């Protein structure tokens, strides 16, 4: 009996130890589980924090880019920048007058790149490029002007001069027509309608449109504005000659010589007087040839004598010899 009691107590103690052990293990397991849960929460908290931070940074970056793009799309030229551009433009005009074309182009380029370029800036730079024979850049500037102002007579006229240098007379003629239309719609004192008709007459002459040339030269001479150019009479005389109208051609050569005699009086340099005199000598010779064709021998001889007098004054030995031979043939 006593032994059974002892065994029973030992069994109870063993069970208590097992229960205590299991209870301890359960507590440890619960603590470990709790610790693991806390670690997971911290881990996900960190992940979520970095995700949120990433989106925040990206959002700020996107906002900054949007703000920059908005600023770029709404650039406002400051008054100071405009004043600086105008200063460069004015400086460029002075440089061109002084003959410093390269620096003038640089100044105009700076003015244009300063922002809000004007028609005048492109036009002046195009003319400067034209003087340096940089026809591609000149054409780009003239085209820019026309895109900005479709009735700018000066731009059409300048582009016509460029195409004349390129010997593209048909395109030049189209530009002169546009220049005339623009001048009619919005006249500018920079150009004279007389000169536009004269230039179109010259183009028609080169294109062998004799009647068109005569009509344009006649319109040019009929205009009250500007100064009469003796070459307008001389070139109309060439068109008359091609049509066999020698009498009107002779009359025009006489008119050209008369204008030259008036211009020589006001010439300020020896070079200018010599150039005018050389043209007059040529017109006398052409008139002599036409008079000879009409059988006007004495008038032809008189024309040649006048040409010889001019050649002597110019000390042009080659022309003197040629004219002397022609006079001798009339004896």
What is the model's pLDDT at position 52?
A: 41
CATH of 228-331, one of 1.10.3470.10, 1.10.287.3610, 1.25.40.10, 3.40.50.1100: 1.25.40.10
pLDDT in tens, 264-276: 999 999 999 999 9
Average pLDDT, stretch 92-111?
92
Fold classification of 151-226 is 1.25.40
pLDDT at 56 over 50: no
**Does residue 5 register a pLDDT over 50?**
no
pLDDT band for 71, please (50, 70, 90 cuts): very low
Long-range contacts of 269-274 (CB under 8 A, 24+ apart): 274/314
Looking from the CA of 266 toward its CB, the CA atoms found within 13 Å total: 4
Q: What does pTM read for this prediction?
A: 0.72
Instruction: Indicate if 228-331 has the same CATH topology as 81-149.
Output: yes
- The class of domain 81-149 in CATH terms is mainly alpha
Res. 83 pLDDT band, cuts 50 70 90: low
At 46 the pLDDT is: 36
Per-residue pLDDT band for 92 (boundaries 50, 70, 90) equals confident
- State the pLDDT at residue 87: 86
Task: Report the phi/psi class of residue 99: left, alpha or beta, with left for phi > 0 and alpha for psi in -120 to 50.
Answer: left
**Domains of the chain: which residue ranges?**
81-149, 151-226, 228-331
């Amino acid at each position: 009996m006593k032994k059974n009691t002892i065994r029973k107590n030992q069994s109870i103690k063993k069970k208590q130890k097992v229960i205590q052990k299991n209870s301890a293990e359960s507590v440890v397991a619960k603590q470990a589980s709790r610790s693991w849960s806390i670690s997971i929460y911290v881990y996900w908290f960190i992940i979520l924090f970095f995700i949120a931070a990433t989106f925040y940074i990206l959002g700020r970056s996107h906002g900054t880019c949007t703000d920059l793009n908005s600023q770029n799309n709404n650039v406002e030229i400051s008054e100071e920048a405009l004043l600086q551009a105008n200063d460069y433009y004015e400086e460029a005009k002075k440089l061109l007058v002084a003959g410093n074309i390269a620096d003038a182009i640089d100044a105009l380029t700076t003015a244009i790149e300063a922002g809000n370029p004007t028609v005048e800036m492109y036009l002046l730079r195009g003319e400067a490029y034209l003087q340096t024979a940089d026809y591609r850049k000149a054409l780009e500037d003239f085209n820019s002007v026309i895109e900005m102002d479709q009735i700018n007579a000066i731009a059409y006229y300048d582009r016509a001069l460029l195409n004349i240098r390129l010997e593209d007379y048909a395109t030049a003629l189209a530009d002169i027509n546009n220049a005339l239309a623009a001048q009619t719609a919005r006249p500018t004192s920079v150009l004279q309608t007389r000169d536009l008709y004269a230039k179109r007459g010259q183009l028609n002459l080169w294109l062998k449109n004799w009647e068109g040339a005569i009509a344009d030269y006649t319109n040019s001479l009929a205009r009250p504005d500007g100064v009469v150019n003796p070459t307008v009479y001389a070139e109309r005389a060439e068109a008359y000659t091609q049509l066999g109208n020698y009498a009107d051609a002779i009359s025009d050569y006489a008119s050209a010589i008369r204008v030259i005699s008036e211009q020589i009086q006001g010439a300020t340099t020896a070079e200018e007087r010599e150039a005018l005199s050389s043209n007059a000598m040529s017109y006398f010779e052409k008139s002599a040839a036409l008079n000879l064709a009409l059988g006007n021998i004495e008038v032809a001889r008189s024309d040649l004598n006048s040409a010889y007098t001019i050649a002597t004054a110019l000390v042009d030995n080659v022309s003197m010899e040629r004219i002397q031979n022609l006079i001798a043939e009339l004896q």
